[in-house]
């Protein structure tokens, strides 16, 4: 590729990636923008005042609800996914192919089907419209991703360090904290990020199991899109996308960037 063409290609790519965000930012700061003007006639922070002032309590509650749900899902998904990934990455055992296919199956089946099936059962168990119920349904889809990432991490992991620590008198807890965790930390971060982001962007499963009681940000965003207030919907979208951006910056800074490939 010629250098000039290469520059043009890079510019086209960067524009198509960044344009949607630019549009959202401009719209969130517009107060009067009539058709067919290309640029807002009047700028202002009305939308931002609305989401942090007038509707502040509701939006903040949604933000916190989303954060708590996604963090809890990520923590539980790691607690279950790390041991499973270790078993798959380090050892060969009977039925491994079958078990691994089963553990990966939720990746291809849409959350919609499972959430609809679980709903009635969760009502009977008293889990519908509860925080735990929503975390459990998110977990179904996040867990395979953590297992998959940790599987890869542990297949490049050398457990001989653990036996050395053991021969030096370390107890199992110390081995986990001082040997295994430091060695696998970047992978654990990626697995946690996958789960966090996946749970963060769930809409329908939260709506079905949460039944409108657990109002995460995507649920508020859908309600706002229905109301037709574009600047406010744009501002909430920007708040909604912020953790994703932070996660990407974090991965580029601390995890060497490319490790986030494969997140969906």
Residue numbers 2-41 binding another protein by CB under 8 A = 6, 9-10, 13-14, 16-21, 23-24, 27, 35-38
Report in angstroms how near the CB of residue 178 gets to another protein at its nearest.
20
Cα(74)–Cα(63) distance, integer angstroms: 16
Residue 106 binds another protein, judged by CB under 8 A: yes
- 219-258 residues near another protein, rule: CB under 8 A: 221-222, 225, 230, 233-234, 237, 240-241, 244-245, 247-248, 252, 257-258
Cα(145)–Cα(262) distance, integer angstroms: 9
Shorter beta-carbon distance to another protein: residue 4 or 92: 92
Stretch that binds another protein, among 52-60, 139-147, 164-172, 179-187 (CB under 8 A): 139-147
**Block residue for tokens 């050398």:** 158
Which of 105, 132, 177, 185 touches another protein (CB under 8 A)?
A: 105
Residue 181 binds another protein, judged by CB under 8 A: no
Residue 145 binds another protein, judged by CB under 8 A: no
Report in angstroms how near the CB of residue 127 gets to another protein at its nearest.
11
Cα(125)–Cα(230) distance, integer angstroms: 40
Shorter beta-carbon distance to another protein: residue 15 or 57: 15
Shorter beta-carbon distance to another protein: residue 59 or 84: 84
Cα(151)–Cα(107) distance, integer angstroms: 15
Report in angstroms how near the CB of residue 105 gets to another protein at its nearest.
7
Which of 63, 70, 137, 190 touches another protein (CB under 8 A)?
A: 137
**Block residue for tokens 């965003």:** 221
């Amino acid at each position: 590729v010629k250098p000039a063409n290469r520059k043009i290609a890079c510019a086209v790519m960067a524009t198509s990636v960044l344009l949607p965000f630019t549009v959202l930012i401009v719209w969130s700061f517009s107060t009067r923008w009539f058709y067919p003007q290309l640029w807002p006639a009047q700028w202002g922070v009305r939308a931002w005042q609305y989401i942090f002032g007038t509707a502040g309590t509701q939006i903040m509650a949604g933000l916190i609800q989303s954060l708590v749900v996604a963090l809890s899902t990520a923590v539980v998904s790691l607690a279950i996914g790390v041991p499973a990934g270790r078993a798959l990455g380090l050892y060969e055992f009977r039925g491994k192919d079958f078990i691994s296919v089963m553990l990966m199956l939720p990746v291809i089946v849409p959350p919609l089907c499972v959430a609809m099936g679980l709903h009635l059962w969760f009502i009977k168990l008293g889990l519908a419209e509860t925080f735990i119920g929503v975390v459990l349904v998110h977990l179904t889809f996040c867990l395979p991703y953590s297992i998959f990432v940790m599987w890869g991490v542990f297949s490049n992991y050398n457990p001989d360090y653990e036996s050395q620590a053991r021969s030096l008198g370390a107890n199992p807890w110390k081995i986990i904290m001082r040997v295994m965790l430091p060695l696998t930390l970047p992978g654990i971060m990626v697995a946690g990020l996958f789960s966090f982001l996946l749970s963060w962007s769930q809409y329908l499963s939260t709506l079905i199991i949460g039944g409108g009681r657990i109002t995460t940000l995507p649920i508020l965003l859908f309600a706002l899109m229905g109301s037709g207030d574009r600047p406010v919907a744009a501002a909430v979208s920007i708040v909604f996308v912020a953790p994703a951006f932070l996660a990407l910056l974090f991965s580029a800074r601390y995890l060497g960037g490319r490790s986030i490939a494969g997140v969906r």
